[in-house]
Structure 1
Amino acid sequence: MPLPLARHALATGLVLGLSISATPLISQDFSLPSTFGEISVSAGFMPDPNWVHVLAGGEALREFPDANTGNRCAGHFAEAPDFRIFFEPGSGLPLSFYVESRDDTVLLVNTPDAQWHCNDDSSGLNPSLTFDSPQPGQYDIWVGTYQASNGTYPAAILGITELEPFADTFARAFFGEDDRIVMDATQSPWNMIGFVDLSDSSCTGALIGPQTVLTAAHCLADQGAITGTPVEFLAGYDRGDAVARSAITGYHVPASWMMGEQEGYDFAFLYLADPIGEQIGWMDVGPLTPEDVAAELAGTGPDIMQAGYSYDQQGVLTGNLDCPFIELGGQNTLIHQCDTLQGDSGSPLFIETGGRYRIIGVESRTDAMPRAQFDRNVAMHTDYVLAELQALITQTGSGGGTRPPETK
């Protein structure tokens, strides 16, 4: 049964006491109706995990210390709870909440004893909170964003579970089993793939010319603004060492991505100070032909390979030697089942033909499909990539491997 709301005065006072200077005095108020609904469940609930689709973020920048750990986390939250759960324990199992989103989210929970609990990053940029001995009563939940919303609220999925947080997520993301292996980053073709240092974050990229690297556009730009400044490319990076490295002096993000993040254009080019590709080589870029697609679907095509710097295996290159091909989707997308995680964005999907390595896709994102057996991995097919390269070469009159005009 819902708890009486007598605790609200206490909790509101706690929030106001934590307000950041220059931040509007808007508290997280659990006397308000929850925006995306509420449920009443008892221990042993099914389905587990129980998924709720929400829009993350809000207008108020708040900072909270976790009641258990003392760790502080800040985020932009709505005033009303995003979701509310009335819980009746009894199984002896912990109760966990976690969030999946393409954006950097922050999780805030007010428990039945009016204590605040928060988490920023637990699995990559996805947060989670676990209560080992859950109390009976009302849990109010906010899914915030680390960055300001600016009137745009990213989609997120809130998971409620008595299982291990993200356990179901990893099973779906890895199509049942993690097939990644650690690659020898000193050997071809893996040394052509590298770590993209974006100062505050990182992605993966691959050499496609002496001084040109192909990566994902969302690593650099979000909602029409450059958000990640590329600093350095480390080819064949492995636990602090690199086969070759160079400062990044420029970049190009397609206008179709900058002006609306149009599907099919989540790719970008980075330009290096040094021609390290002359030392270690580079990959070709070319889309799958209809004959290639037919061969892949028939199981007679060349193996599709992929490698990148996944967040859960810090400092090493992990990848797949034979990814299942699913289909060429609409708007320049390639649907695949390479095992990838955050950090693999921008990594190449490639095949070997005639002794050369041809990039056929650029890893873009994973669409969470909590009601399906597996998630949906989406890469950018290189049809648009090749067209963008050819357009830039036409503009500059230069050959492959030189730098087109920069779009800083």
Structure 2
Amino acid sequence: MTATRILSFVGLACAVSIGGASAQNTAASGLFGTVALTANFTPDPHRVRIEAGGADAASALGSPCVGFIASGQPDYELNYTTSGAVALGFFVQSAVDTTLVINDPSGRWYCNDDFNARGGENAGIVFPSAAAGSYDVWVGTYNRDDVGAAAELIISELGAPWDPRFGTTELAGDFNPDPFTAEVVAGGGDAAASLANGCVGFVSTARPDYDIVYSQAGRFTLSLFAEGTVDTTLAVRAPDGSWHCNDDFDATGHNPGVTFGTPVNGTYSVWVGVFEQGSSGQRVNLFVTETGTPPWQARSAAPGPARAPGTALSSSGTGFLVSRAGHVLTNHHVIEGCSRLTFQVRGDLAVEARILASNAGVDLALLKTDLTPVTPAEFAGAGVLRLGDEVVVYGFPLLGDLSSQGNLTSGIVSALSGLNDDLSRLQMTAQIQPGNSGGPVMDRTGHIAGVVVETLNTEFFQRERNATPQNVNFAVREAMARSFLDTNNVRYAVSTDRTLLPIADIAERAQQYTGLILCYQ
């Protein structure tokens, strides 16, 4: 396979000026070997195991040389043949902090400590237009105590071993043009299953093919597709470390795709594989889009809106699982006008949610997901809650501003009815914010006593009553919520256990069945 050669690097070689004689013998052969390579060599990279460091301070060669290197003969020698302008890189990978010293064919010295941020404490030197001749290499250790540590010297024309093979691109939410397109060479000699369970095909696992650094997430979905003339696969490592893999995105062909319904900021590392190993080496286009539409569908679609329905994030709220069949209870106003909904319990992936029933009068809605929770919420039982009882609220308010892990507040029941003596509501002092709507209100036994619904409109009271009410919040009473579930034939649990729990224990329970609801239009 002939891969695209690198054109530029972050850490280019800079010569070191030496005033006196050096203890390093450039005429000697390499302690760990000598190799002859010709430009466009294969396999690329060329790797050799060595022991790093030595007794000599590299600083004797001049700035910016640091660390400790071997005296006398080099660790490794490369005899390089080239007739054109090819970028040649030398890199080190080790469990310890390494440095690098190279004497090039012209006799000039080059040094490096840390090549780039992605490489951590690994050293690297790149010659952007490498000359033919002999390169003598010393691999050092930054700390004297690490001398003798195992290291691997890597020689490559494709870039640093920790960097993506075909590039990195930064994209911000609502990027233009959409889709972003990059060309990669698909496949490799490694089974994609070694990256993560569920991945198929063959890739080069040593490093990703491409990195997408995504920012300003929140309004749209983020999708990645690969399209080529061979059967391709896709593996994507999300910023949180989770893996997402696909073979065929739809029934129209053999092109893969991965969609993130609620993308987050960070780096999405992409491996483009082939289903059959013999197909490796083919050029494939990688597409990144916020429209949710694969490129092969977009080309055949009639002119229409730039974004597919259900891809623009409109609002958010909270809901909670009330059955082992995946039913989610929330507010009507949370789901009103949404063309698509997702539900996400903390620590899990977002799942699609569909509307089964909704009642604007009591402001409740019932959603259905494919989740099968082991511990859905349990109701406390009507008539248990009293004036002055403590209540706890858990939810996901102010999406993008407050903690994405959920927020917990507590207070007391301050009234057993809502505005104008509305008996379908109860009033509480537990603080709520936009985004809490639809979340659970729990008593001190940890069971459901209501559903968060609204807070008092302070602007109205300031304008019409010349008063500034504080901490006046409302929830749909448990009895109304249970009646709504009964009407829709949902099998939920009512607990008779009245053991009081610490609030921290209540929070842990709530995190298991409460989730973030995202509304897309």
Larger Rg, first or second structure (1 or 2):
2
Q: TM-score, normalised by structure 2?
A: 0.30
Structure scoring higher RCO (CA < 8 A, sep ≥ 6) equals 1
Using structure 1 for the length normalisation, give the TM-score: 0.38
